[in-house]
A and B are shown apart, each in its own frame.
Chain A
Amino acid sequence: MDFETLKALKPAEYEDAATGYRTTSKMASDAKDRIDNQITAGMRKHLSGESAQAALKQLQQLSADFHYAETECGLVSTALDGFAYDMRAAQQKLDAALGDADKAGFTVHSDGSVSFPAAGEKKDGKVPEGDTVTGSPDPYTDPSAQALRRQAIHFHPNPHYGPALDIADRIAQAVKQATTADKKWAPKLRALKADDDLTVSKHDWADAKKDTGGVLSAAKRYLDSIPPPPKDGSPKANAAWWDHLTPQQRADYLSVHPGAIGAMNGLPAEVRDEANRVVLDEARAQAQLKLDAWDAKEPQRYSDWVDPITGQPTQTREWEDWKAKREALKAPLTGLNAVENRLNMTGVEGLPEAYLLGISPDANDHDGRVIIANGNPDTADHTAVYVPGTKTHLGAIEKDIVRGERLWKASSAEAPGEQISTITWFDYNAPNNIPQATLDKYSEQGAPTLNDFMDGTRVAHEGASGPGHPSHTTVIGHSYGSTLAGVAAQEDRGHSKAPLADDVIAVGSPGMQAAHADDLGIKHGHVWAMRASDFSDDGAVVGGGRIVGLGGDFTVPTDINFGSNVMDSDAKDHGGYWDMHGKQSSMALRNQARVIVGKYGKVQLEYD
């Protein structure tokens, strides 16, 4: 880039172009939503058979086309905003130098050189002549050159020489700054070109992730001009921060920080969902590519040695080690695919839109993070948060997602016409068994996370629905999830002061670290408990928890003296609280649903 080009450049034109891409990105996002939540949902509701499935698959690919366009055009927009910002900064420097030249009566030429007129004390009867100087962008790199330069200025008979050289240097610096920025942006922008084909592959998503990193680092200067999210990160502060950003700032920040936005409590569910869907697609692609790379390394499976007793060749140690590692790589992909599956299930049996409020394969010591809502919690009349228990991890998360769905269906059946949101919340390092669960570290980290999430749900709901209409909230803790809920409920509430939830249900609970329901800070009469057959593994969990002290004073929530409402249950075992019998919800499921929608009178209690 040269002087004239920088002078003539209009950053606003690039910002206008950026707006065009941003609008395209928004349209693509809306189109994707319409395919996912309307078109395919309507088809799933009414249609079946091979043709419908094939057509749905094509529509899912069309949705992916739009999602890819949304992500990449969003990045193009941020890149152009970043470029414009960098050009403005260089132009500011340039304009200041040109202004000074003007004031001093110097002439600036089209190559950036500066002419100054004759001036100074007469020498030999003549006024020192004027001259033209060309600046250098780095006049001060070499100390001896620096000294020489100072000398030249000092000894020059024309007093304009020094100032003119200074201005010429500043012009050259501005041009170099612009040139460097231009060279920096061109390849980042080129990486954002559209793919040749309309199949969005895992490679495309892996590229998108790289592109995001590229734009993020290149746009640092521009992004630094956007006020960063608050350090203390309370949901209220986060919501206020987001509120005060312009639409352009929001779009640009989200495009380069989808992970941060997706995880930010207090932000609207739709915003988090948008961000997390990008995180999900990129994580799935990465997991698949890792698996592919590992598969390419498969060693010889069978050794040449034949077992004389069985007559069969044996598997090599190398292969068995390879296979074990493969299982470990496959697990997160299985979980991520289960999440993606739910996103494609809207409309099946009336399932509402899904909102992905948290997703990470590596969080929580690689147990992962999955927070997925059925129905929008920001506008729900009733919101239920299901907290799973020991051994939960991303690889096995499908059953927990299904439980959230069943809770939604059962609750909707109990309160037709009311807005319901059920959330599967897994965002803590889950212990592997009950004895291990006594280690403080699980609840120490998990409880504040749950509290922050509940607080964020409240704040976002208030943002969408106004302060006078909070959602009626229920936390359902299963197994160790109930222990976590108990610890969370008793934590210092901080500025929030609200209880953990309006209702708390402890299901198959080994203890809530409290001796009595009233210790949980929940409104009296709004703590519920349920267990399964004592002769199943459920009895082992509940009894085991009691023995190792996960309760308070060896009391667990289903004990009479705990003071909770113990609900009737037909659960056959520790995992059996969300069973369906054909299309009928089990008693255990129905009772949870009744609490969720506040129909307390209909709950069947054990001790009636």
Chain B
Amino acid sequence: MAWDEWEQLKAAAGERRSGHTELNQVADPSGKTADTSGPAVNGKSQAELKSNKAAWTKAGHDTGLLRDDVKKALDELDGGQHGLGSTTGILTAEVQHEVYDSWHRYMTSVSKRCGRMADLLQQVGHDHLKTDDAVRAVIDRMKTDYRDTPPVGGAHGHGHHAGSR
């Protein structure tokens, strides 16, 4: 009565997500094939970056726009703080101020991250970053800046640590 479960799993794994293997064969919708001419840089030719320039720049443009949305939200967040009077004697009010500071800082950092991503995407789109190596170098710098910082002590480790990044 039972069928071969292993066969099923194998089949599923094999035919799964043709998207993943397909990605490498996605044709440039403009009909042009990748530029195979040009000198090799860092051991990789320009053809290695099989890309549609317009897609990169559009992604960059849209990512940059997110900064405007964050700015609007920060204005609202700040605006919500204006009415708050003195916090003396109200623990929750004092804490709220710390919470507000932390989220203001967080969203400002996120906005900057949007800007950096937008720059990266635009640069690829405008051919200023021509190789996978060049792109990787930029992204590696981002990874370092945005890496997870372990919490220091306390039950609610939210990454508060004594040292600065």
Contacts and interface: CB of A to CB of B under 8 A. Distances in A.
A561 interface: no
B83 A190 contact: no
Interface stretch (A258-266, A291-299, A571-579, A593-601): A571-579
Chain B contact residues, majority secondary structure? helix
Interface residues of B, number: 92
B62 to A, nearest CB: 5
A508 to B, nearest CB: 10
Interface in B37-78: 48-52, 54-56, 58-59, 62-63, 66, 69-70, 72-74, 76-78
Contacts of A537: 3-4
Interface in A185-203: 185-187, 189-199, 201, 203
Interface string B104-140: 0111011001100100110010000100100110010
Contact of B83 (A10, A31, A72): A10
Contacts of A196: 149, 158-161, 165
B1 A194 contact: no
A183 B25 CA distance: 60
B102 interface: yes
B69 A30 contact: yes
Chain A contact residues, majority secondary structure? helix
A201 B110 contact: no
A470 B157 CA distance: 49
A194 B158 contact: yes
B9 to A, nearest CB: 7
A23 interface: yes
B29 interface: yes
Interface in B8-38: 8-9, 11-12, 15-19, 22-26, 28-29
Contact of B85 (A8, A21, A54, A186): A8
Interface string A495-525: 0000000000000000000000000000000
Contacts of B49: 49, 51
25 contacts: A13-B83, A13-B84, A13-B85, A17-B96, A28-B73, A39-B59, A46-B29, A47-B55, A48-B51, A50-B135, A51-B51, A51-B132, A55-B124, A69-B110, A185-B91, A186-B94, A193-B103, A194-B105, A196-B149, A197-B147, A203-B157, A207-B156, A341-B17, A544-B1, A575-B12
Given A51-B135, A58-B142, A193-B98, 5 more contacts: A21-B80, A35-B66, A55-B139, A185-B91, A190-B156
Interface of B: 1-5, 7-9, 11-12, 15-19, 22-26, 28-29, 48-52, 54-56, 58-59, 62-63, 66, 69-70, 72-74, 76-85, 88-92, 94-96, 98-100, 102-103, 105-107, 109-110, 113-114, 117, 120-121, 124, 129, 132, 135-136, 139, 142, 146-149, 151, 156-161, 165
